[in-house]
């Protein structure tokens, strides 16, 4: 257990509503990531963070925003949910320092989001 908690674990929402998913870590790692997993596409990076208030876009960032006001929390917001955002969302952390990207990624248990 890498000390990662995702909430909620399951959510059903309607098209057009905003949704926020939370990732909480207990180990003060600098790097945090949001991925989505879809059949036929595998895992794809949405956004990542390399420190408090330092974030950047991933491969599939359109329609998503993130915030990191504290080391331990990384929030993913769907500004106006669409059915194409129905997916399983995973948060991950990595403890490498500086530019030594040599540490493994550890994943949370995921949030299953359904947009109706």
Select from 34, 48, 39, 20 the least CA-distant residue to 89: 34
**Residue 50 in the binding site for another protein (CB under 8 A):** yes
Nearer to another protein, 16 or 54 (CB): 54
Least spacing, CB of residue 80 vs another protein, in Å: 25
Nearer to another protein by C-beta: 2 or 13?
2
Q: In what order do the strands lie in the sheet with 73-78?
A: 4-7, 19-25, 73-78, 64-70
109 binds another protein (CB under 8 A): yes
Out of 5, 58, 67, 95, the only residue in the binding site for another protein (CB under 8 A) is 58
Find tokens 């991925």 and name the residue: 35
65, 82, 110, 115 from 78: Cα distances, Å: 7, 9, 16, 11
Residue ranges that bind another protein, judged by CB under 8 A: 31, 33, 35, 40-45, 48, 50, 56, 58, 90, 92, 94, 99, 101-110
């Amino acid at each position: 257990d890498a000390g990662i908690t995702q909430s909620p674990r399951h959510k059903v929402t309607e098209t057009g509503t905003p949704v926020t998913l939370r990732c909480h870590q207990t180990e003060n790692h600098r790097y945090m990531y949001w991925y989505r997993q879809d059949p036929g596409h595998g895992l794809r990076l949405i956004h990542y963070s390399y420190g408090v208030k330092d974030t950047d876009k991933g491969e599939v960032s359109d329609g998503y925003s993130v915030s990191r006001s504290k080391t331990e929390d990384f929030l993913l917001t769907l500004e106006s949910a669409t059915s194409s955002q129905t997916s399983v969302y995973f948060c991950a952390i990595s403890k490498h320092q500086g530019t030594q990207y040599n540490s493994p990624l550890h994943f949370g248990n995921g949030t299953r989001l359904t947009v109706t």
